[in-house]
Protein backbone atom coordinates (compact mmCIF):
# COMPACT_ATOMS: atom_id res chain seq x y z
CA UNK A 1 0.00 0.00 0.00
CA UNK A 2 2.83 2.42 0.68
CA UNK A 3 3.86 2.29 -2.98
CA UNK A 4 0.79 4.21 -4.15
CA UNK A 5 -0.19 6.20 -1.11
CA UNK A 6 2.19 8.62 0.54
CA UNK A 7 2.00 9.04 4.28
CA UNK A 8 1.93 12.66 5.30
CA UNK A 9 2.42 14.07 8.75
CA UNK A 10 0.55 17.28 8.06
CA UNK A 11 -0.65 18.97 11.19
CA UNK A 12 -4.26 19.91 11.61
CA UNK A 13 -5.21 23.34 10.25
CA UNK A 14 -5.90 26.09 12.71
CA UNK A 15 -9.34 27.66 12.94
CA UNK A 16 -8.57 30.90 11.02
CA UNK A 17 -7.20 28.90 8.08
CA UNK A 18 -10.22 26.59 8.07
CA UNK A 19 -12.60 29.57 8.09
CA UNK A 20 -10.65 31.29 5.29
CA UNK A 21 -10.63 28.14 3.16
CA UNK A 22 -14.37 27.61 3.66
CA UNK A 23 -15.03 31.25 2.76
CA UNK A 24 -12.96 30.92 -0.41
CA UNK A 25 -14.74 27.67 -1.28
CA UNK A 26 -18.12 29.35 -0.86
CA UNK A 27 -17.03 32.26 -3.06
CA UNK A 28 -15.78 29.85 -5.74
CA UNK A 29 -19.07 27.94 -5.78
CA UNK A 30 -21.03 31.20 -5.93
CA UNK A 31 -18.94 32.49 -8.83
CA UNK A 32 -19.37 29.21 -10.73
CA UNK A 33 -23.15 29.40 -10.27
CA UNK A 34 -23.13 33.04 -11.40
CA UNK A 35 -21.06 32.07 -14.45
CA UNK A 36 -23.54 29.36 -15.41
CA UNK A 37 -26.54 31.63 -14.89
CA UNK A 38 -24.96 34.36 -17.04
CA UNK A 39 -24.11 32.07 -19.94
CA UNK A 40 -20.54 31.14 -18.92
CA UNK A 41 -19.43 34.73 -18.40
CA UNK A 42 -15.63 34.82 -18.46
CA UNK A 43 -15.48 37.44 -15.69
CA UNK A 44 -16.80 34.96 -13.13
CA UNK A 45 -14.52 32.20 -14.41
CA UNK A 46 -11.54 34.54 -13.93
CA UNK A 47 -12.64 35.19 -10.36
CA UNK A 48 -12.80 31.45 -9.70
CA UNK A 49 -9.19 31.08 -10.86
CA UNK A 50 -8.13 34.02 -8.70
CA UNK A 51 -9.83 32.46 -5.66
CA UNK A 52 -8.17 29.09 -6.37
CA UNK A 53 -4.82 30.89 -6.56
CA UNK A 54 -5.45 32.69 -3.28
CA UNK A 55 -6.44 29.39 -1.67
CA UNK A 56 -3.22 27.78 -2.85
CA UNK A 57 -1.12 30.68 -1.55
CA UNK A 58 -2.92 30.43 1.82
CA UNK A 59 -2.03 26.73 1.92
CA UNK A 60 1.58 27.67 1.22
CA UNK A 61 1.57 30.14 4.10
CA UNK A 62 0.02 27.51 6.34
CA UNK A 63 2.73 25.04 5.30
CA UNK A 64 5.36 27.65 6.16
CA UNK A 65 3.84 28.19 9.60
CA UNK A 66 3.76 24.43 10.20
CA UNK A 67 7.50 24.24 9.35
CA UNK A 68 7.11 21.93 6.36
CA UNK A 69 9.82 21.51 3.73
CA UNK A 70 10.68 24.36 1.40
CA UNK A 71 9.78 22.18 -1.58
CA UNK A 72 6.15 21.95 -0.45
CA UNK A 73 5.97 25.68 0.32
CA UNK A 74 7.39 26.62 -3.10
CA UNK A 75 5.00 24.24 -4.86
CA UNK A 76 1.92 25.68 -3.16
CA UNK A 77 2.89 29.32 -3.71
CA UNK A 78 4.01 28.58 -7.29
CA UNK A 79 0.68 26.96 -8.12
CA UNK A 80 -1.14 29.92 -6.60
CA UNK A 81 0.81 32.37 -8.74
CA UNK A 82 0.23 30.18 -11.80
CA UNK A 83 -3.54 30.18 -11.23
CA UNK A 84 -3.61 33.95 -10.80
CA UNK A 85 -1.52 34.45 -13.96
CA UNK A 86 -3.87 32.12 -15.84
CA UNK A 87 -6.80 34.28 -14.71
CA UNK A 88 -5.03 37.40 -15.96
CA UNK A 89 -4.24 35.79 -19.33
CA UNK A 90 -7.80 34.51 -19.85
CA UNK A 91 -9.88 36.66 -22.14
pLDDT value of position 6: 64
Mean pLDDT rounded to a whole number for the chain? 84
Report how far residue 28's alpha carbon sits from residue 47's, in angstroms, rounded to the nearest whole number.
8
What contacts 61, CB < 8 A, 6 or more positions away?
A: none
Residues 89 and 91: their CA atoms lie apart, in Å, by 6
Of 47 and 4, the one with more pLDDT: 47
Residue 70 has pLDDT above 60, yes or no: yes
Q: How many other CB atoms are found less than 10 A from the CB of residue 49?
A: 20
CA nearest 47: which of 84, 5, 80, 81?
A: 84
What is the reported pLDDT for 43?
86
Task: Looking at the chain, list the stretches that DSSP marks H as alpha helix, in order from N- to C-terminal side.
Answer: 15-37, 42-65, 70-89
Model confidence band, residue 83 (pLDDT cutoffs 50, 70, 90): very high
Amino acid sequence: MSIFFEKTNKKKSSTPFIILKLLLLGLMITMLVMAILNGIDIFYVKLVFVFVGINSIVEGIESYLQKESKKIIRREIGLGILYILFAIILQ
